[in-house]
């Protein structure tokens, strides 16, 4: 049931992913999806059939000029994010932007600055940070149940979707970079990355990247849309426990391994020994809530309560910095590039 005090929402870009945002924003509490804008008539018609009564338009200005719309979600191809988000902020609207926030650091900085100057919410769609499994790992880390993180590696592989406007790095790695920053809770020092483009000129289909953190931790990220396996997996090695998260598993996504290696001294010889611990494996149960609905509801709640989102514009900027440094490293044959 909606009320006059609900936040009025508009979505721009209702394509492959945007239709999911349309569906989920229409299910949020405390908001009403009023308008969907898309250049494609077919995508406008699909949005209209998903949400009966929603207005559809091909003109973005219709959203900007509508006083009933308090917030706009941007879900076009990444190259259009900056201009649309900037215009929305300048029109006084709160803004949600799909990942990656922008394609350039200066553009992301501008959005963060504009949101701050105008007292508006800016949130980026780092979806995995709303995944109950990733949240569970983070909570166990904060509670100290897993020990201190040493390193993690993340794999996001599949055959497709092959995009022409962004590489596998820009399309897939924002998820993994945001997870690594969230779980390690440390600042990255530098990144080295190697990428290869096989299908189209200069659009990498596969990228191997290595992030080194100030706290001594490391994150290895492998992204590809040219791979026979569908893999969405992370492995986190801490000093007392090890954890895997497999998002392709329907239920048992997380496994906690009570395994580790410890240094001790053999007092007979005073030699240093490494003893290995092979303990139990634990599979926690997780709530089955759709992460995208949690993400959309979080945006609505943050706007209504004037709260900083868990995936703020600043975090979007941090990820764009790493994406750009990774791209620079690929151009320099894998040379480590400092992350600003
Ligand atoms: N969070 C996730 O898991 C996830 C998954 C896929 C895509 N994405 C992100 O979502 C965004 C969109 O990706 P997609 O796969 O839906 O792309 P898409 O090409 O399928 O859809 C983009 C839509 O935007 C519309 N559009 C473009 N410019 C416009 C403009 N100026 N005004 C109005 N409409 C405009 C196009 O007509 C198209 O319908 C990208 O940033 C992508 O990285 C996120």
Looking up residue 253, the CATH number of its domain turns out to be: 3.30.360.10
Q: What pLDDT does 262 receive? A: 87
Q: Is 168 found in the same domain as 68? A: no
Q: Is 120 found in the same domain as 147? A: no
Mutate to test the pocket of ligand 1, among 10, 11, 13 (most ligand atoms within 8 A of CB): 13
Q: Is 329 found in the same domain as 233? A: yes
Ligand 1 neighbourhood includes 87 CB (under 6 angstroms): no
> What separation in Å is there between the alpha carbon of 33 and the centre of ligand 1?
18
87 in a structural domain: yes
CA-proximal residue: ligand 1, atom 21 (nearest): 15
> What separation in Å is there between the alpha carbon of 85 and the centre of ligand 1?
13
State how far the Cα of 73 lies from the Cα of 35, in Å rounded to an integer.
11
Q: How many helices (H) and strands (E) does the chain have?
A: 9, 15
Output the DSSP codes for 54-85.
Answer: -EEES-HHHHHT-TT--EEEE-S-GGGHHHHH
CA-proximal residue: ligand 1, atom 4 (nearest): 17
- 170 Cα nearest atom in ligand 1: 43
CATH code, domain carrying 119: 3.40.50.720
Among 166, 151, 172, smallest CA distance to 247 is for 172
315 in a structural domain: no
Q: Is 123 found in the same domain as 21? A: yes
311 in a structural domain: no
Largest distance between two CA atoms of the chain: 81
- 83 Cα nearest atom in ligand 1: 31
Q: Is 143 helix (H, G, I), strand (E, B) or coil?
A: coil
At 211, list the tokens.
């992030």
State how far the Cα of 276 lies from the Cα of 260, in Å rounded to an integer.
6
> What separation in Å is there between the alpha carbon of 29 and the centre of ligand 1?
24
Ligand 1 neighbourhood includes 18 CB (under 6 angstroms): yes
Q: Is 182 found in the same domain as 74? A: no
Q: Is 253 found in the same domain as 173? A: yes
In the chain the first and final C-alpha atoms are separated, in Å, by: 46
> What separation in Å is there between the alpha carbon of 330 and the centre of ligand 1?
25
Q: Is 210 found in the same domain as 174? A: yes
313 in a structural domain: no
235 in a structural domain: yes
Output the DSSP codes for 159-220.
Answer: E-PPPSSS-HHHHHHHHHHHHHHHHH-S-EEEEEEEEE-SSSTT--SEEEEEEEETTS-EEE
Q: Is 71 found in the same domain as 194? A: no
State how far the Cα of 165 lies from the Cα of 167, in Å rounded to an integer.
7
In this prediction, the residues of the chain whose per-residue pLDDT falls under 50 are none
CA-proximal residue: ligand 1, atom 34 (nearest): 38
- Number of domains into which the chain is organized: 2
> What separation in Å is there between the alpha carbon of 317 and the centre of ligand 1?
19
> What separation in Å is there between the alpha carbon of 78 and the centre of ligand 1?
7
Q: Is 82 found in the same domain as 183? A: no
- 142: DSSP letter: H
Ligand 1 neighbourhood includes 323 CB (under 6 angstroms): no
Ligand 1 neighbourhood includes 207 CB (under 6 angstroms): no
Task: Determine the structural domain holding residue 72 and report its residue range.
Answer: 7-128+299-306
State how far the Cα of 186 lies from the Cα of 244, in Å rounded to an integer.
20
At 136, list the tokens.
């569970």
Q: Is 249 helix (H, G, I), strand (E, B) or coil?
A: coil
Q: Is 190 found in the same domain as 102? A: no
157 in a structural domain: yes
Q: Is 181 found in the same domain as 328? A: yes
To which residue do tokens 């690929």 refer? 330
pTM: 0.97
Ligand 1 neighbourhood includes 16 CB (under 6 angstroms): yes
Q: What pLDDT does 103 receive? A: 98
196 in a structural domain: yes
State how far the Cα of 38 lies from the Cα of 232, in Å rounded to an integer.
30
Q: Is 330 found in the same domain as 188? A: yes
């Amino acid at each position: 049931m909606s009320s006059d005090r609900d936040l009025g929402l508009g979505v721009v870009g209702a394509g492959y992913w945007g239709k999911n945002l349309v569906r989920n924003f229409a299910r949020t509490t405390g908001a009403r999806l009023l308008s969907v804008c898309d250049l494609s008539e077919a995508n406008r018609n699909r949005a209209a059939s998903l949400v009966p009564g929603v207005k559809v338009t091909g003109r973005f200005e219709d959203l900007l000029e509508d006083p009933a719309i308090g917030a706009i979600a941007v879900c076009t191809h990444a190259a259009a994010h900056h201009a649309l988000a900037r215009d929305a902020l300048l029109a006084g609207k709160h803004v949600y932007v799909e990942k990656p926030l922008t394609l350039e650091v200066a553009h992301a900085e501008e959005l963060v600055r504009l949101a701050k100057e105008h007292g508006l919410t800016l949130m980026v769609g780092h979806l995995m940070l709303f995944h109950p499994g990733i949240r569970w790992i983070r909570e166990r880390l904060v509670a100290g149940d897993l020990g201190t993180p040493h390193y993690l590696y993340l794999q996001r592989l599949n055959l497709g979707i092959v995009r022409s406007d962004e590489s596998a790095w820009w399309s897939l790695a924002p998820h993994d970079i945001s997870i690594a920053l969230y779980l390690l809770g440390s600042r990255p020092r530098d990144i080295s990355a190697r990428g290869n483009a096989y299908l189209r000129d200069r659009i990498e289909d596969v990228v191997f990247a290595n992030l080194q953190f100030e706290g001594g931790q490391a994150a290895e990220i492998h992204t590809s849309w040219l791979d026979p396996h569908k893999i969405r997996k992370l492995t986190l090695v801490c000093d007392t426990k090890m954890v895997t998260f497999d998002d392709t598993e329907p239920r048992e996504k997380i496994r906690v391994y009570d395994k580790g290696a410890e240094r001790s001294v053999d007092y007979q010889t005073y030699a240093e020994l490494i003893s290995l611990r092979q303990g139990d494996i634990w599979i926690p149960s997780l709530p089955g809530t759709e992460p995208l609905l949690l993400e959309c509801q979080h945006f609505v709640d943050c706007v209504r309560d004037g709260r900083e989102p868990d995936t703020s514009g600043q975090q979007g900027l941090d990820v764009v910095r790493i994406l750009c440094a990774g791209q620079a490293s690929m151009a320099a044959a894998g040379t480590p590039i400092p992350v600003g």
